[in-house]
């Protein structure tokens, strides 16, 4: 190719993946960083913790999501911060099966705006433009809200559009009902999920302390020289229960073959 020719067989370069502002790490329960499943008991709370943080001073939200491994849809429970950047949530696995769980975190744009708005109101700063910004955020939530949540946001919008006074607007926004609605229907901006999913083996309660008895069925015979049967083994179950055993398991049982078959007393004929 001469110096006057243009090279057209260039290689397309994959775009650099977008980096999230939110970090989720040190998730528990996990074994060896998720290489092996953790274990819990069916019907008992599984407490999930993680370090969750981001740059800036925006307000974070987080939730633990879980499902049975064979299912497709996740259930969800909120997480809350309790120590520095450490967050905690929990769910109750009800079935004796294998579960998967993960954590999602996002920025709450409305709560972040409200935190700054509250500071300005308390400092007696002009807030007319801030109220307009808040109205825009509420309108966006209103467009996707339904039922009672939609009605609550509609009433809030009506009050905010009638005032430019900071304390009046703040009083309307700070109602407990409004806080619950905005947290429920607000946009999950910058949603980040912890990957990969972590696994959880959920056992019955007796897996925690159960005592096992290994039984050889052939040894349960009641007549000399006659091997035991399943009925003979069944008769021993009350005795084993009274001795304190919780689980009986049988040694492997294989059919008797024909090649090089032995007779009574291991005789070769």
Which tokens go with 32? Answer: 């060896």
Q: What are phi and psi of 152, to 5 degrees?
A: -65, -45
pLDDT value for 4: 41
Q: What is the pLDDT of residue 18?
A: 57
Give dist(CA 246, CA 251) in Å, integer.
17
Q: What is the architecture of the domain spanning 110-185?
A: Up-down Bundle (1.20)
Q: Where in the chain is the domain with CATH 2.60.40.10?
A: 22-108+190-203
**DSSP secondary structure string for all residues of the chain:** --TTSPP--PPP-PPPPPPPSEEEEEEES-BGGGTB-EEEETTS-EEEEEEEEESSSPPEEEEEEEEETT--SPEEEEEEEEETTEEEEEE---SSSEEEEEEEEEE-HHHHHHHHHHHHHHTT---HHHHHHHHHHHHHHHHH--HHHHHHHHHHHHHHTT---HHHHHHHHTSHHHHHHHHHHS--EEEEE-SSPEEEEEE-GGGTT--EEEE-GGGG-SSTTS---HHHHHHTHHHHHHTT--EEEEPP-----STT---GGG---
Looking at the chain, which residues constitute the CATH 1.20.58.80 domain(s)?
110-185
> Domain 22-108+190-203: which CATH class?
mainly beta
User: For position 19, what pLDDT does the model report?
Assistant: 66
Per-residue pLDDT in tens (0 to 9) along the chain, 269 residues = 444 444 444 344 445 445 678 999 999 999 998 999 999 999 999 999 999 999 999 999 999 999 999 999 999 999 999 999 999 999 999 999 999 999 999 999 999 999 999 999 999 999 999 999 999 999 999 999 999 999 999 999 999 999 999 999 999 998 889 989 999 999 999 999 999 999 999 999 888 888 999 999 988 988 888 888 999 999 999 999 999 998 898 888 777 778 888 777 778 87
Contact 53, 86 (CB under 8 A): no
């Amino acid at each position: 190719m001469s110096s006057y020719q243009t090279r057209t067989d260039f290689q397309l370069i994959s775009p650099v993946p977008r980096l999230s502002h939110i970090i989720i790490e040190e998730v528990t329960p996990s074994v060896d960083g998720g290489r092996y499943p953790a274990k819990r008991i069916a019907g008992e709370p599984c407490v999930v913790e993680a370090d969750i943080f981001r740059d800036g001073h925006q307000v974070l939200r987080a939730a633990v999501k879980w499902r049975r491994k064979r299912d497709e849809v996740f259930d969800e429970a909120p997480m809350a911060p309790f120590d520095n950047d450490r967050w905690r949530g929990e769910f109750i696995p009800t079935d004796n099966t294998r579960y998967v769980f993960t954590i999602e975190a996002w920025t709450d744009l409305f709560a972040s705006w409200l935190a700054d708005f509250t500071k300005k109101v308390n400092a007696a700063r002009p807030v007319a433009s801030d109220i307009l910004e808040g109205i825009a955020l509420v309108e966006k939530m209103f467009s996707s809200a339904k039922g009672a949540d939609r009605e609550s946001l509609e009433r809030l919008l009506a009050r905010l559009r009638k005032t430019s006074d900071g304390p009046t607007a703040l009083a309307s926004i700070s109602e407990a009902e409004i806080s619950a609605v905005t947290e429920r229907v607000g946009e999950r901006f910058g949603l980040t999920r912890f990957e990969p999913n972590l696994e959880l083996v959920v056992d019955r309660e007796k897996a925690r302390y159960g005592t096992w008895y290994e039984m050889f069925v052939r040894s349960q015979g009641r007549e000399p020289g006659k091997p035991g049967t399943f009925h003979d083994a069944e008769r021993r179950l009350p005795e084993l229960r009274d001795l304190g055993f919780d689980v009986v398991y049988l040694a492997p049982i294989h059919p008797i073959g024909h090649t090089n078959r032995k007779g009574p007393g291991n005789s070769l004929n």
